[in-house]
Amino acid sequence: MELTYKTIINVPQAFAFEKATDFARFEREGFGKLSPFEPRSEIKAPGIGARWRTSSEFQGRPRRFSLELFKLDGPEAMVLGNKSEKYDIEAHFLFKEIGEEETEFTFHLDAKAQSITAKLILQTIQLARGRIEKSMQTEFEKMALNMEEAFDESR
């Protein structure tokens, strides 16, 4: 299953990347509908291999999962994911400078099931794709607006 979202954020690339990789804030506040964002490894972010446990509600039930920082290539890319017996998931956050104060943000999720149970869960998610894409768009629009407001305040 793949999901992609792309938008323009009216902030410099380095600023967008800094805000999107504020791991200390995620650990305090969560990220959008992912809450809490609890550290679960000896490696602390922004170190590659840092891990967190988080949850998100799906079909009225909280779904818990782990995230690991696979790649941090500032100010251009971050990859979070989960590779386990059940899933192979990678979430790519890409930041491309298109102007002095404009950044193209792309989110790409690639999820593959490694077990029958995971296949059933991904099929259920696929059925709710429209609702999930709408929710994802809302969360990323909120993130972009927060970045733009923070940038305006920093001037």
Percent of the chain with pLDDT over 90: 66
- 25-49 burial, b for 16+ CB within 10 Å, e for fewer? ebbeebbeeeeebebeeeeebeeee
| Residues forming a β-bridge with 108 | 4, 92
CA 72 → CA 25, 138, 139, distances in Å? 17, 25, 21
Query: Residue 121: left if φ>0, alpha if ψ -120 to 50, beta else—which one?
Result: alpha
For residue 71, give the H/E element and its range: strand 61-73
CATH of domain 2-154: 3.30.530.20
- Supply the mean pLDDT for the chain: 91
Q: Is the pLDDT of residue 60 over 80?
A: no
Dist CA 40 CA 109 (whole Å): 22
Q: Kindly report whether the global pTM for this prediction surpasses the value 0.75.
A: yes
Complete edge-to-edge strand list for the sheet that includes strand 77-83: 2-9, 102-113, 87-99, 77-83, 61-73, 51-58, 38-39
Q: Residue 146 — pLDDT band, cuts 50, 70, 90?
A: very high
The pLDDT tens digits of the residues spanning 76-127 come to: 999 999 998 888 999 999 999 999 999 999 999 999 999 998 898 888 888 8
